[in-house]
Amino acid sequence: MANIVVAGTQWGDEGKGKIVDLLAENADAVVRFQGGNNAGHTMVVNGEQFVSHLIPSGILQKKICIIGNGLVVDPKVLIEEINYLKQKNITITPKNFIISDRAQVIMPYHKLIDTGREKLKGDKKIGTTGRGIGPCYEDKAARTGIRFAEFIKETVFSEKLKTVLVEKNFYIEKFLKLNPSTLEEILAEYKEYAKILAPYVADASTAINKLIKNKGQILLEGAQGTHLDIDHGTYPYVTSSNTVAGGACAGAGIGPKRIDEVIGIVKAYTTRVGEGPFPAELFDKTGAFIQKKGMEFGATTGRKRRCGWLDLVILNNAVKLNGLTGLAITKLDVLGELKSLMICTGYKYKNSIIKDFPADCKILEKCEPIYEEMPGWNEDISLIDRYENLPQNTKDYLKRIEELSETPVYIISIGPQRDKTIVLNNPFLNIPA
Ligand code: GDP
Ligand code: IMO
Ligand code: MG
């Protein structure tokens, strides 16, 4: 029996959705533990692509899917996602889908504040997804947020909203100079959402712990990536939650000793959406090649992703912060036609060499990558189904990642489809009861 956390090691979009969908086959439940619909997780099964923003990526494997207490949930988006999946003949009932009664509700004013502030900041903007994530987490910390438990009780909800809205609308009107929604408008809209979602709202932590007690296997699905973590990422160019594996315990309501393995998802190169420092970023034709071949466009906002070489300073930081026990290397096929590959092994800053990820973004902005060159394989590896059959140069690239990160590669992904994967070690199958 094993409970596994899947965490992004870079700046998100590493291919978590694909790997979670794959691993979910042997899980009993898949749990999201932080973030909201800033996430966009892609799964490709039987030639069809699904992008999920809130519902865990275990839904196509027909597993119990749980939205943990650590999430901020836009009810409108969640309902759209449920309807979209139902249209695709995927069953979603209160038996296989739970929303934590402690999860926070994203309100219209959160979205307005998010986008309004970004506009005011001009070129100092963070480049958020505009989904209201930051402002909703702010309210959670300020203890003025609305949880699902309150949201589904009409009187409790309207009373709380009435109090909160006075302050929000003052800020929206006077500071952001925008038109806020009235109490009546929000109540009318959100009352309908509450009715639809109420049957799914339950004590998620109790449900997860019950499953664990009954020897169920839990897969905890991280969103975003380690370097977007509110504490450990490139602050302030981060999201507003703890994206590291440690967040899984708080955001799902389980104890740390329940976690057996932490798998870090590593794109074979690096991408980033939004603003913020990115030392190994490429501005040349290789960067443009990777962007095009990797189809690096955001699954949530459609923005072009910035691309660069694989950065081991970042990966080693993720190994440390998440306690990674294994790696899943994704999008290895994208590097196919490149003659040589670079791995960033350190940063040059003034006259020193930095190997530990600096806290100060101003320092990071001035860091120059130190590269180690490796030969490419100049071959399409997307049709290979066994590790043994990979070109020697591909194996060497993987071995070098293992050596530098001191972490074993468990999974190799060579295409977006579920079956375009070489699994070397599946911890769900290897940990004895
Ligand atoms: P997530 O947010 O970490 O789940 O990642 P996204 O879904 O936002 O972005 C990853 C993109 O890469 C999606 O379009 C996936 O379908 C695609 N993808 C995942 N793994 C692979 C792979 O091994 N090769 C290729 N070519 N595409 C992949
Ligand atoms: P998945 O789960 C990539 C980025 C945004 C922005 C910053 C803050 O698909 O990997 P926010 O809206 O969260 O306040 O934006 O974080 N960001 C992501 N980048 N993948 C994601 O999720 C992201 N979620 C947020 O682009 O730079
Ligand atoms: Mg994504």
26 and 89 part of one domain: yes
Q: Is the pLDDT of residue 302 over 90?
A: no
Q: What totals of helices (H) and strands (E) does the chain contain, helices first?
A: 14, 20
pLDDT tens for each residue of 30-77 = 999 999 999 999 999 999 999 999 999 999 999 999 999 999 999 999
378 and 281 part of one domain: yes
152 and 288 part of one domain: no
Ligand 2 center to 9 CA (angstroms): 13
Of 172, 197, 222, the position where a domain reaches its end is: 197
Ligand 1 center to 182 CA (angstroms): 40
Active-site residue set: 13, 41
At position 347, the amino acid (one-letter code) is Y
152 and 238 part of one domain: no
**Arithmetic mean of pLDDT, 146-165:** 98
**Arithmetic mean of pLDDT, 114-122:** 97
93 and 18 part of one domain: yes
Ligand 3 center to 34 CA (angstroms): 14
Averaged pLDDT of the chain: 97
279 and 346 part of one domain: yes
13 lines ligand 1 (CB under 6 A): yes
Q: Residues lining ligand 2, judged by CB closer than 6 Å?
A: 8, 11-13, 38-41, 126-129, 131, 133-134, 223-225, 228, 239-240, 273-274, 299
Q: Given the structure tokens 């970023």, which residue do they identify?
A: 281
Residue 341's alpha-carbon distances to 271, 281, 315, 377, in angstroms, are 15, 14, 16, 9
CATH code of the domain in which 299 resides: 3.90.170.10
pLDDT tens for each residue of 278-300 = 999 999 999 999 999 999 998 77
> What span, in angstroms and rounded, lies between the C-alpha atoms of 147 and 69?
9
Atom of ligand 1 nearest to the CA of 420: 23
**What pLDDT, on the 0 to 100 scale, is given for residue 430?**
80
pLDDT band of residue 432 (cuts 50, 70, 90) is: low
- Which ligand sits closest to the CA of 416? 1
Neighbouring C-beta atoms of residue 207, cutoff 10 Å: 17
279 and 400 part of one domain: yes
Q: Please say whether the beta carbons of 397 and 374 come within 8 A.
A: yes
308 and 353 part of one domain: yes
> What span, in angstroms and rounded, lies between the C-alpha atoms of 402 and 349?
26
> What span, in angstroms and rounded, lies between the C-alpha atoms of 362 and 135?
25
pLDDT tens for each residue of 186-211 = 999 999 999 999 999 999 999 999 99
179 and 213 part of one domain: no
Both tokens of 84, joined, read 């979209």
Both tokens of 126, joined, read 């963070």
Beta-sheet pairing, 72-73 with 41-45: unpaired
CATH code of the domain in which 38 resides: 3.40.440.10
Domain extent, residue 297, equals 267-430
Atom of ligand 2 nearest to the CA of 129: 12
414 lines ligand 1 (CB under 6 A): yes
Q: How many domains does the chain have?
A: 3
pLDDT tens for each residue of 346-391 = 999 999 999 999 999 999 999 999 999 999 999 999 999 999 999 9
**Arithmetic mean of pLDDT, 208-217:** 97
In a 10 Å sphere around its CB, with 0-12 CB exposed, 13-18 middle and 19+ buried, how is residue 289 labelled? middle
**What pLDDT, on the 0 to 100 scale, is given for residue 64?**
98
Closest C-alpha to ligand 2, atom 27: 274
Can you give the pTM of this predicted structure? 0.97
234 and 170 part of one domain: no
333 and 274 part of one domain: yes
